[in-house]
Amino acid sequence: MAAQAPEFTYVCPPDGQVSTGEGPLSGLRLAVKDLFHIAGIPTGAGNPDWLKSHSVPEQTSSAVEALLAAGATLVGKTLTDELAYSLNGINAHYGTPLNVVAPSRIPGGSTSGSAVAVANLSADIGLGTDTGGSIRVPASYNGLYGLRPSHDVIPTDDMVALAPRFDTVGWLCRDLETLVKVANVYARTFSFEERCAGEDTVSLRHVTVCSIVDSTVWDEALQSWAPLLEEQFESVSHCKVDSDELTRASAAFRVLQGREIWRQHGDWILKTQPVFAPDIQERMLWCRGLDENEEAAAQIQADHFLQYWRTHVLPTPNHVALMPTAPGAAPLLDMKPDDLARYRSQLMGLTAPAGLSRAPQLSLPWLQESSAPWGVSLTATRGQDRSLLQLASSLEAKMATLGLS
């Protein structure tokens, strides 16, 4: 296990705490995952060989610029797993950011540094990316709010991609109010609805409660939330999600993502021969070995899963799914690598549905297991980002009224 790392890989110069305007984010500190380009600051993507083989950016990501123009103050760039290809938050080169709310557990990746910077009060907004769960997972593990928006609603220019087909810009905050402020800035800047191909925003009036994990904590939480759900929604349905379907979703996502990763980075890897951590290296070699027949088969499998998901979980745009963000609290730091790999596969069964359907998923810090945070997710259909945030705000207000918060 690598040594504990500070939350920042690169910090701005002492006089370089940048804010380019005043607005709704004035007074809020912004920590940016080390995938986003910021003019004059190196982008390391969590790997020393990437850092050495790429020049210092001359342009800043528009996702970063929008927040700075709204008044946010940039306080630093944050650690990421190598090329963002992990959900653990463990970086063999730079260390593992300390999960301050559960120090014996991993922080979750690949937006590990941004999550920890927000959790330890170094920042108010942690900007990151989510391809296979890299906002949702660290939000769950660190007791934060984290949004993976619909694919394409926020531009991904001037950043290091992992798998463009699935890459999204997301963010983490300690409270829902701040998270919504960021969403409103992006909505005004990038026109959410237009970028969602003109899909209409609807009221999320029906909830599907997903039985996905075998957990007493989850079962007891659902019992306590029953009055809340009955008050909020016109209908509450329960779906025992087929574990085989989730396994197939995870497997299909991994292959489709893997093919994208090799298309994106294969030439650089073959030319540079970078040093990766053993688990990242193993995955990169696996990506290299995938072929178009495996990709085609994975796409068929993904389409089959999406049909299942739309039939049983989200049959209309008015539906929202309530489900655990992860199988449980964050794994312990000393979990054996083989066990961690098996856990990753199970975890991706929970994160793959939103990725495959290009849909928004919001992780909320509503659960605890073994005194450690465990997130609850609301997942909607693609394009319903604003409705999802409005619903979450309504639910939190009613939780307080009902004495459930």
Question: Active-site positions?
Answer: 33, 110, 134
Between strands 361-369 and 235-240, the pairing is unpaired
Q: How far apart are CA 391 and CA 397, in angstroms?
A: 10
Helices 385-401 and 176-190: crossing angle in degrees, nearest 10, is: 160
In order of 308, 381, 384, 390, the CA distances from 202 in angstroms are: 22, 10, 7, 11
At position 105, the amino acid (one-letter code) is: R
Radius of gyration of the chain (CA): 20
What is the distance of C-alpha 142 from the center of its chain?
12
325: buried, middle or exposed (CB in 10 Å: 19+, 13-18, 0-12)? buried
Q: How far apart are CA 263 and CA 351, in angstroms?
A: 22
